[in-house]
Amino acid sequence: MNIKISFFFLSILVLGLIGNSVITTDSAFADKPDLEAAKEAREDAKEAKKDAKEVAKEARENIEEFDEGIVSTSSESPTTPSDIETSGKATICHIPPGNPTNAHTITIGRPAVTAHLAHGDVEGSCEMTYLDSVEENDSNKESRLSEKSSQKESKALERALRLIEQLEQKMSNLEERLQNILDKYESGEYYGNISTADAVTNSYVISFNGMATSIYDDTVTTEMSGELFMENQVTASDTSKFKILSGEVIIGNNLYDVAFGKARTSSSGQEDSMVIVLQTIDSDDNDNTIKISLGFNSPPEGEFGSPSEEFEILDNSKVSGQWVLDGTGQLSLGS
């Protein structure tokens, strides 16, 4: 700035010198109205103009050096954020609408920041914005995955607890039912009213074989066989009662071991039938109730079971909730 002022005053000085020379020349011409004096004055004016040009040139060179120094200093020292704030500039990540992959960092005047942010630009450089975005996305993703996993674990745990509760309730109900049966068995109530028991007790053997069909899928069948041991309790002309002492029923690879049971016969005069109810424990230690209905081919002749009585297993015979039974067998006196 000082150089520019100096140049201004220097120009005035030069013009003044030129003016003085002209004035001096005019005076000399008045005093010496000869050609030699005029020529001398013109030579002096030329020298003065030459000197003025030299001074002006030197001043311009000084100004250019000053300006180049400013530019050089500016290029060597990067603008800092504080410089940008002082100069009213802001750095933003410009995201072209419809072309986000072409995002790039620009520096704009601070008054224009609001407009840029309104169409999706972000303050700060694109590099920092991208890193912050990636870190935020990764963090959010991990948080969502963790929350989702926690929700799944919670639901699975709730379901498991609910199933356990249902199983415990089922076991409790089964235990209660079995306990009632056992209580009745021990007290004799299980076999019904035995007011006039037979004076003579005989042993009987029931053996049978056939097929078992799944209750849930009638295309699934397997071989079935069994042997039961029983004794009479009450013998009558129309209804007789028996106690099942032991036995087993084999269906496929599963063995149903008989804990206890009971049987009852009924006679219509034309044919006799027997209904057997067994309490069993299978190969997986589960308790099961088996009901077997026997239809005798003809009314027994002579003492019951002697000779052996042939029968068929009727349609309503089944292992509770598992199998429907079908087959034939015989009932005979035991040893």
Q: Could you write out the DSSP letters of every residue in 301-313?
A: -SSTTSSPEEEEE
- The 10s digit of each residue's pLDDT in 116-129 is 888 788 888 877 66
**pLDDT for 303 beyond 60:** yes
Q: What is the DSSP letter of 285?
A: S
Most confident of 36-50, 158-172, 310-324: 310-324
State pTM to two decimals. 0.49
Quote the pLDDT of residue 62: 52
Q: What is the largest CA-CA distance in the chain?
A: 189
SS3 68: helix
Lowest-confidence region among 52-56, 166-170, 252-256: 52-56
Q: How far is the CA of 124 from the CAs of 86, 94, 132, 151, in angstroms?
A: 16, 10, 11, 38
Over residues 211-237, mean pLDDT: 92
